[in-house]
Amino acid sequence: MMMHALIKGGIPAIYDIGKSDTRLLYLKKSGYDSNPDGLFELYKSNLMERFPDDLDGEAVKIQDQQWEALKDKQAQNGLFVIYMTRDKESVLQSYAAFTGSTDLTEVSERYDNQLSIIDSIQARSDVTYLFKLNYEAVVRAPRYYFKLLKNNGLPINHLKAASVVKSEYHHFRECYAI
């Protein structure tokens, strides 16, 4: 959702078109697509090849487990990072629905590692701005959060960005203490 909103708001982005073979296999098996509008992300090999030199001034989605692999690659012009968090139960239920797996130990451990990932991102010398957003909060008040990003230096059309947020894609709402 966030990458789609950034693109709609006028931020140039780099991403691979389509979904990986593994993801397509899961979709066929489960019938569950948590990202019906697209993924807007680079496959790991493309990210490793292109980060940071080929991505200057453009948005790119970087998953938690990818930050460690990028630790020695520094961006000359700095990084403006938007780090999205999401309710743990929602993440686990979405993963289970997508994969059909009942063993959520690895996903749970990765989720619990978020604070150390945020700390490592914040410690990077090339991070000029780190903005932490909660997915559920953005879904509840998209105009507010995209205007906040604009007011903090992101050159974005906050109204266009907010128009992408669709509450019907907000899965597992019953888990949230809103």
pTM over the 0.95 mark:
no
More confident: 37 or 9: 9
Distance, CA of 150 to CA of 67 (rounded, Å): 25
Question: Taking the domains of the chain in order of start, what are their residue ranges?
Answer: 2-172
Is pLDDT above 70 for 36?
no
Q: 132-158 pLDDT, tens per residue?
A: 999 889 999 999 999 999 999 999 999
3-state helix, strand, coil in the chain (%, to 5): 50, 10, 40
